[in-house]
Each structure stands twice: as structure tokens, then as C-alpha cells.
Structure 1
Amino acid sequence: MRLSRPEAIVNYAVLGLFALISLIPIVGVVLTALTPADQATASFAIPRSLDFGNFVQAWNQGRFSQYMLSSVIVTVTTVVVAAVFSILAGFAFARMRFAGRNVLFYLMLIGMFIPLEAYIIPLYFEMRDVGLTDTYAALILPQIAQSVAFGIFWMRGFFAAIPSSLIEAARLDGAGDMRTLWQVLVPVVRPAVITMVMLTFMWTWNDFLLSLVMITSESFRTAPLALSFFQSQFVTQYALLSAAATIVALPLIILYAILQRYFIRGMLAGAIKE
């Protein structure tokens, strides 16, 4: 369907308005982070001069080098493992026939509907009983479990929409299941995989509750949790707080800026039809 020029103008105007509304808080935080400490206030204001030293001071005083490393370890491990499991299981549920397939699939989806808040306390006691609290495993394993539930649901839909003729052609060329999956199907659904990876990265990187409950040692503290402690120490130093918040959010912004084309394609992709 082709939009007329007036309709296109209206659409772009509405989208531009919502984009502006979304960007105003972000711009406000960045401008506050660049404002000299003695001029920063809690309200939105354009600084008379820029002070990039706030980022250096926040980085050093908040010890974010250590906490960002912890977040990278937890997030990258979770994303890689969850992506591999989701692709394998999504392919199995979409293209293989085995007893109890539908029951098992819907059982896996329970992880999407039960929020972390509902089972965080028993999860803590289970982790404590096996000696995993205050370790990276206490953060990585639950995150993988949550992410795989969504990943299976996401990838199954894309694998099921791939034309059967493509798989049959791979079979005729002598490709087995694993070769068909990784060399034929995964490249076809690459935007979906990248979208899943970005969403998993975002959810894992921004996690706060799991880190708050499972971690007491500073050695394993993640960046969002460290930002909370930093806020309690510098509650009235708005420039430092904004700089610290920008530092924690920066990896997500960079990742989206690099992969946004694939992310949008994955989010908008419908069924692949023959």
C-alpha cells in the first residue's frame, strides 16, 4: 500500500513528535553530565560551558571499571549461551517431530509469564544451598533460563515460517540437521537472531533485582547495582550522577547504533512466504 504525500507527512510528523518526547530525557541527562559540578541542578538546563571531567571523576570514584567488567562477563556469557540454546531449541520445536513437542514447548514458555519477583526468594535460598551466591553463576544461570524461554518462542516462529523447499534443497545436497541449521537457516533469519541478541543483552545488562539479592561482595557487583550505590553516596551531585548513568547506559547505546538496522528488520519481519 502506497501512502499519499499528505499521509506520509502526517506519519513522519507524529513519529518525529514521539521521537522528540523520547529524546528529551536522554538529552537532559547528557547535558547535566556535561555541566560543571557547581552549576548543575536537578532541572533541565543548557550548560554555559562543558565539563567532560565529570565522566572521569564518576568513573574513578564509582570504580566503574571493575563493575563494568562484571556486567560484561555476565551479559556476554548469558547472551552467547542463551542464543545458542534458543537457536537449537527453536529449530527443534519448529522443524522436528517428537513425542510431547507441544507440551514441552508450552512448558518452556512458563518462564516468559512468571516474573522474577515471584520466585526470587526461593531462588536465593536454592543458590545459597548449593554455594552459588556471590558468584557470577548466581547471575548468569537465572538470566540464561529467563532468556532461553523468550528465545525459543522467538526463534521457533521464524524457523517455522521458512519455506520447506529451502530445507528440502539442503537435504538433497546431503546436509544434515546441524549443517542445515547453521549454514542455511541461521543466515536467513539473521535479523531475528540479532534482534534476540540485542534484547537479551539489554535485559541482562539492565538487571538490578537479581544482582541486589544474589550479590553482597563488591567483586561481583554489576554496573546497574553499582550505580544505585553511587547514587546513595552522591545524591545531590547531579552532574556526577548523570555522568555515571550515561556511562552505564553507553554500551547499550553503542550496540544499538551498530546493529539498529538488523534490529528494526528483525522486529518488523513477518512470516517468510514461498
Structure 2
Amino acid sequence: MQQSRTTRYIGYGVLFLTIAFTILPFLSMLSAALQPQGSTPEGIDFSGQLHWENFIAAWNVANITPLLRSSVILVIGVVPAVIIFSALAGYAFASLRIPFASVFYLLFLVGLTIPFETLVTPLYYEISAMGILNTRLALILPMIGLNMPFAVMWMRSSFEQMPRDLIEAAEIDGAGHFRTFMHVELPLALPALSSLGILTFLATWNQFLLAVVLINDPDKRTMAGALQAFVGQYQTDVVLLNAGALLIMAPTLVLFIFLQRYFIRAMLAGSVKG
């Protein structure tokens, strides 16, 4: 009993430290964002006058409205495509007999090992040769490709953990692969699809390097590119920088709050196999 109580207290302590290390950076950013413009915030301080108008100023200084529109278009173009293609590929790798399937799957594994930065220069010349440089397609197509290796592995793992008795029952009832995929396995894969959508959204929404390299028009870049507006040649407005960073993070936080149950279910799915 004593050991169990000690273990419980240690667990509570680790949980408290984890929560503290997670929340403190956000509190620090919020505190800095509410200080007077041009000041240098030190520590976490909410005692003085709070300048909520800094968020409006940051929005206007960074001209976030067109960047928000561009990021939304990018997310709409990338996330559904990644979910659809990875679901189909994951089901194929898990349930179908594909010639040279192991070779194709190995190629996806190799795609996970290649550093993203090494692909930027080849991507630039390829996109330029395609004639779509400085267009939103120049971001959408590479982002779909870059997210596919992880997405296919994620969905393949999910489909491999499906209860075999349900699949066998569908086959006995005469369901083909398409009906089994659409009406049996896809509904069961909803937590994995939701969590994959969140991860793909985060990777797409926070994309900065590709947007700077492939897009010349600042208004066609992503929300993350708005942070450049607060970094000058000789000084950086720390207050507006933190306010802008919080504005950029807000959509991802809201999305995670609404879909966290699906994300957690998908994270735990690997420990319990049907």
C-alpha cells in the first residue's frame, strides 16, 4: 500500500511538472503580448495595465488578413487530399495483395528519413520548371507529397489493427474490398483520420520555409510568415511578436480542443488491438 501511494504521488508530481512546463511558455507569451509596445518584457507580469489592443496592432502591422486567407486555402487543398490518399494507400498496404508492396512501402519509409531541408532546392527548380512558381499550387503540391510518407504509415498501422472478425463477417456477407473499406473499416478508422488531420493541419499551417522559398508575393504566404513583420534590421518588437505568435497559434489550439478526444483515442489505439 505504501509503495502504491508513493507511486501515485510520483505520478502526480510528474503530471504537475508536465502541465507547468506546457502552460508556462503560453503564460509568458501572453504576459509579453500585453505589455506596452516598444518595451522589453521580463518574466510573467499581469499586475499592470494590460494592453489588449496589441493584438489588433499586431494583426494590422503584419497584414494578417491576406495571410489568413492564403493559409486557409492551403489547408483546404492539402489536408483533405492527404487524408483521402493516405486512407486508400493505408488500406491497400494493410488488406490487399499488391505486387511489390514491400518495395513501395520501403520507399515511403525512405521518405521519412530524408531531411526536409535537403529537398528545398530541388523543389524550387522543379516547381519553377512546372511554371507554377509564386502560385498557391507551388505550396499545395509539395505539402501533399511531404506529408504522405508519415500519413500512409499512420493509416496502414490503423487498418492493420482492425478487428479481423468484422472484416471476415463482411466478406461472408459478400462485401467486396470497396464496401468493406467504406462501410466497415473507414468508420472504425475515424479517430486515426481525425488525429492525422490535426497533425497535417499543424504541419501545413505552420509551414514557413517553403512559403518563403516558393512564393515571392508576401500576401500569398502562410500565417507563419507574418512573424517577419515584427523582425526589423536593427530591432525586434518583442511585444507585437508575441501577440502575433499567439494569433497564429490560436486556430491550432481551437482545433485541438474540439478534436482532442479523437486524437487521444488514436494515440491509445496502438496499445489495445481489437
Q: TM-score range by the shorter chain?
A: over 0.9
In the TM superposition, what is the alpha-carbon distance from 1:212 to its structure 2 partner?
A: 1.2
1:57 equivalent in structure 2: 57
**Unaligned 5+ residue runs, structure 1?**
none
- Which residue does 2:43 correspond to in 1? 44
Give the corresponding residue for 1:256.
256
Pair 1:202-2:175 in alignment: no
Q: CA deviation at 1:100?
A: 0.5
Deviation of the 1:208 alpha carbon: 1.2
Q: Which moved more, 1:242-251 or 1:12-21?
A: 12-21
CA deviation profile, 1:45-104 (whole Å, cap 9, x unmatched): 313122211111111121101101111111232111000000000000000002101111
Question: Partner residue of 1:175?
Answer: 175
Partner Cα distance (1:273, 1:29) in 2: 41
Question: Partner residue of 1:190?
Answer: 190
2:40 alignment partner, SS class = coil
Residue pair 1:78, 1:143 contacting (<8 A) in 2 also: yes
Aligned residue pairs, count:
271
Call closer, same or farther: CA 1:45–1:272 in 2, change over 3 Å. closer
Match of 1:219 in 2: 219
Distance 1:248 1:273, change over 3 A: closer
Query: Greater CA deviation, 80-89 or 255-264?
Result: 255-264
State the partner residue of 1:229: 229
Q: TM-score of the superposition, structure 2-length normalised? A: 0.92
Residue 83 of structure 2 is aligned to residue 83 of structure 1:
yes
Give the TM-score taking structure 1 as reference length: 0.92
Counterpart secondary structure, 2:44: coil
Does the CA-based 8 Å contact 2:41-2:239 persist in structure 1?
A: no
Report the alpha carbon displacement of residue 42 of structure 1 after superposing the two structures with TM.
3.6
Partner of 2:26 in structure 1? 26
Q: Percent of aligned positions with the same letter in both sequences?
A: 39
Deviations 1:206-244 (A, max 9, x none): 111111110111231111112123333794432211111
